[in-house]
Amino acid sequence: MDYAEIGAWLKEQRKSKRLTQAQVGQRLGITNQAVSLIESGKSQAPLPRLQEFARVVGGQLEVLVASRSDRRSILAVQLVEALPTLDPAIVDALEAWVDLWQRQRDAAADDGVPTAG
C-alpha cells in the first residue's frame, strides 16, 4: 500500500470539503498532528483508520484502490471491513486458507517456480 499516495488523496478530499486537519482529527478522535502525518504518508495508519478518514472527508478509499490496482485489492478492503462482523468460524477458515496459501507459495518459491501474488 502506498501511504504517501493515499495520504495525498485524503488531503485532497479533505480540502475539497473545506475541512481543517483539526476538524478531521476531532471527528476521528486523533490530533491534527496525527492527521498531518497520515496525509503526508509518514504514518502507516491501519486500513480501518484510513477508511474512516475517507468517510469523514466524503471519499471512498475503495475508489482509490480500484483505480490503482485490481479487483483483488477491492476484495481485500471489503474483507478487512467485514472481519469484525464475521462469525469466528469463518475467520478461522480464512486464517487456515491464508496459512495454506502461504505454505504453497513458499514451497513453490523454494522450488524456483514463479508464483502470482
Q: Which CATH number covers residue 21?
A: 1.10.260.40
* 24 and 64 share one domain: yes
* 24 and 78 share one domain: no
Domain that holds residue 41: 3-68
Pairwise CA distance, residues 26 & 37, whole Å: 15
Q: Which residue has the higher pLDDT, 21 or 43?
A: 21
Domain count for the chain, please give it.
2
* 34 and 56 share one domain: yes
Residue 30, in any domain of the structure: yes
* CA distances from residue 99 to 42, 72, 77, 92 in whole angstroms, order as listed: 30, 18, 19, 11
- What's the one-letter identity of residue 90? I
Q: Which residue has the higher pLDDT, 69 or 47?
A: 47
Residue 101, in any domain of the structure: yes
pLDDT in the model for residue 19: 95
Looking at residues 3-29, what average pLDDT do you find? 93
Q: What angle do CA 45, 47, 53 make, to 5 degrees?
A: 75
pLDDT in the model for residue 18: 94
Give one word for 87, left, alpha or beta, with left for phi > 0 and alpha for psi -120 to 50. beta
In 3-state terms, what secondary structure has residue 12? helix
* 55 and 34 share one domain: yes
Residue among 66, 68, 37 at smallest CA distance from 53: 37
pTM over 0.85: no
